[in-house]
Every structure is written in C-alpha cells, then in structure tokens.
C-alpha cells in the first residue's frame, strides 16, 4: 500500500503530465488536426475499397455500445486507442513511484473504467426503455393504420404524438434519420440492429424485424404488430402478478428475518434461563456464534440483492 507521501507524488506527477500534454496539444493543434483528417480520409478510402469486409465481434459490440449510449457514431478503433493511451500513461506515470505489478494492475483497472461506465449506462437505458414497449407498439400500430401502412410516415407520427416515450423516442428518431438517408439493405439491417441492441428485448427485436421488412420489401406488418402488442399485454399482467409476489417476499425478508432473530434471542434468555451477558458472549465472542451471526447477515443481504435484481428486471415476454 502507498503511504500519503507516495500518493501526493503520484497525483502531482499525473497533473504535471496532463499539463504537459495539454500544452503540446495547444502548440501543435493545427498539425494534429491535419494528421487526423488525413487518417480519416485514408480510412474512408479503405472502407470504400473494401465494402464487404466484416467487422470482428469486438468492434461490432463497441460500435453498437458507443452509438447506443453516446448517440454518436464513434469508431471502435478510437475507443480502443483511448483506453490504450490510459493504460500506457498510467504505467509510465507509476513506473518510477510504485512497483511494476502495482502499476499494471492500476492501469488495467483504470483503462477498464470507460467500458464499465458505458456498460452500466447501457443497462440502465435498456431497463427503463423496456417499460415503454406497450405504449410504443400501441402508438406504432395506430399510426401505421392512419398513415396507410407507410413505415416512414408511421415513425414520424409516433415521434409527433408519443411525448411519454422518453428513451425509445430518441432511438426511433435516430432510426428514422438513418433509414431515410439510405436505400441500402445492408445499412438498414445495421440501423435496426442498433435499435434492438439499445433495448435488447424480444419485443424490440421483433419490432426491428417488422420495420426492416416494411422498409425493404413494403410488406404490411400490421398483424405482426398486433401479435407483439397482445404478447406485451399478457406480459404486463404477468409482471404485475410477479410484482405482487415479490412485494410479499420483500416484506417477509425485511420484517420476518429480524423479528425471528429477536424472537430467538428472547426465547434463549427467557426459556433457557440464559443471562444476557452470556448470550452476548456466545454470540459475538466465540468463533461459532460470530460465524453464524455473520452468515445470517450475509444471507439476509444476499436475499435483498436477489429481490432487487428481480424487481428491476426488464419488461419483456
């Protein structure tokens, strides 16, 4: 463990490096911008020469993750370069102040932080947007019939009327802009995949397939939308029943466990004629008693954690 002096040295060194790199960037801003522009131009030329070159699974995941969370098309390569710079910079700063193993561990943890933060944000978006499914499909189906089965005008109508759709409205707006600007089947597949990835539910994947089918082939998807809506309403009833059952489990866990523990204490003191001091000694000052007490606390908190995970489950069927 580093003492206070080593921590101060580490922080000051880090600030000096940040000031140094910031100054170098300000001095060479025009040159750096020119180099980045040339690199982007060469990259676009390579992509045009190799239009059918498939991304690997990591790059696909990072591209969809960045687009879903940030809302802008950021290259997976740029993100990997950014994390690599964090890793290299932390090792370079910590090399002279801490052991090489500590520097590597610290650099690894800090370089993983951007991905972890993006992932936490993505899961939050998925959970909250999943509960908008029933309203979204209902609005989508009604607008699809009003707009005479035109998928583009349908999405515009949903965006115009669906003010309660806070998250899925943004995703739909981005989807509409992208599919209007292209007639390529490959691009449309990529766009609807990004939409379903951001929500990651069965109903979002089915809706994405419906939008893709309507946009590419012009097929009437009203029956498919009705089927999704029916399944979501059934899922709503099951979710309400699960919520009722979980509320009973929450009450049993929060109230019954402490009450039962207190009851066992009272029974031990009254019926076994055990002095309070002896009970406290046996519970907290012996290995067996303290182990059982900590195990009870651990299981109690574990139950609360599982209940919270079930209650915050995404709305889906």
More confident residue, 50 or 258: 258
Whether the per-residue pLDDT at 152 is higher than 50: the answer is yes
Range 152-159, long-range pairs (CB < 8 A, 24+ positions): 152/176, 152/179, 152/180, 152/215, 155/211
Residue 175, token pair as written in the block: 């989807």
What pLDDT score was predicted for residue 282? 80
What pLDDT score was predicted for residue 183? 67
What pLDDT score was predicted for residue 106? 74
**pLDDT (mean) for 220-233:** 88
**pLDDT (mean) for 170-184:** 82
Give, in degrees to the nearest 5, the angle at Cα 63 between 59 and 65: 115
Task: Tell me the H-state helices in 131-167.
Answer: 133-146, 151-161
How far is it, in rounded angstroms, from Cα 87 to Cα 104?
A: 8
pLDDT tens, position by position, 53-106:
556 788 888 888 888 888 777 888 888 888 888 888 878 776 666 677 777 777
Whether the per-residue pLDDT at 117 is higher than 80: the answer is yes
**pLDDT (mean) for 266-271:** 81
Among 36-50, 78-92, 249-263, 278-292, which range has the highest average pLDDT?
A: 78-92
How far is it, in rounded angstroms, from Cα 212 to Cα 179?
A: 9
**pLDDT (mean) for 203-218:** 88
Which of 8-12, 59-63, 179-183, 307-311 shows the lowest per-residue confidence on average (mean pLDDT)? Answer: 307-311
What pLDDT score was predicted for residue 52? 47
Q: What is the pTM of this model?
A: 0.63
Q: Are 293 and 279 spatial neighbours (Cβ–Cβ below 8 Å)?
A: no
**pLDDT (mean) for 280-300:** 79
DSSP 263: H
DSSP 252: I
Q: How far apart are the first and last CA of the chain?
A: 49
Confidence at 51, pLDDT banded by 50, 70, 90: very low
What pLDDT score was predicted for residue 42? 65
Mean pLDDT of the chain: 80
More confident residue, 176 or 314: 176
Give the SS3 label for residue 285.
coil
What pLDDT score was predicted for residue 132? 84
Q: Please name which of 180, 179, 182, 160 lies closest in space to residue 169, comparing C-alpha atoms.
A: 160
Buried/exposed code over 124-136 (b: 16+ C-beta within 10 A; e: otherwise): ebbbbbbebbbeb
Percent of the chain with pLDDT over 90: 0
Whether the per-residue pLDDT at 49 is higher than 70: the answer is no
What pLDDT score was predicted for residue 44? 59
E strands, 14-138, are: none
Residue 187, token pair as written in the block: 């691009």
What pLDDT score was predicted for residue 113? 83
Whether the per-residue pLDDT at 1 is higher than 50: the answer is no
Angle between helices 133-146 and 202-217 (to 10 degrees): 20
């Amino acid at each position: 463990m580093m003492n206070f002096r080593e921590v101060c040295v580490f922080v000051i060194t880090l600030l000096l490096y940040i000031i140094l790199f910031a100054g170098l960037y300000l001095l060479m801003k025009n040159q750096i911008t020119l180099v980045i522009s040339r690199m982007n131009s060469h990259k676009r030329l390579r992509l045009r020469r190799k239009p059918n070159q498939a991304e690997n699974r990591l790059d696909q995941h990072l591209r969809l993750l960045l687009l879903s969370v940030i809302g802008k098309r950021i290259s997976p390569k740029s993100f990997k370069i950014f994390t690599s710079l964090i890793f290299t910079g932390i090792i370079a700063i910590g090399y002279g102040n801490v052991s090489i193993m500590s520097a590597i561990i610290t650099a690894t943890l800090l370089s993983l932080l951007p991905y972890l933060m993006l992932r936490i944000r993505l899961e939050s978006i998925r959970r909250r947007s999943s509960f908008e499914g029933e309203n979204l499909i209902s609005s989508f189906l009604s607008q699809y019939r009003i707009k005479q089965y035109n998928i583009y005008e349908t999405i515009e109508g949903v965006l115009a009327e669906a003010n309660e759709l806070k998250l899925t409205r943004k995703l739909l707006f981005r989807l509409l802009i992208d599919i209007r600007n292209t007639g390529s089947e490959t691009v449309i597949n990529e766009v609807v995949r990004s939409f379903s990835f951001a929500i990651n539910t069965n109903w979002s994947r089915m809706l994405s397939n419906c939008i893709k089918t309507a946009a590419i082939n012009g097929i009437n998807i009203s029956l498919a939308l009705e089927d999704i809506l029916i399944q979501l309403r059934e899922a709503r009833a099951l979710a309400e029943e699960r919520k009722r059952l979980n509320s009973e489990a929450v009450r049993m866990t929060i109230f019954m466990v402490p009450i039962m523990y207190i009851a066992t204490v009272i029974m031990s003191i009254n019926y076994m004629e055990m002095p309070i001091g002896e009970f406290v000694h046996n519970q907290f000052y012996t290995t067996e008693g303290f182990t059982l007490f900590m195990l009870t606390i651990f299981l109690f908190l574990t139950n609360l954690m599982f209940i919270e995970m079930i209650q915050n489950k995404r709305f889906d069927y």
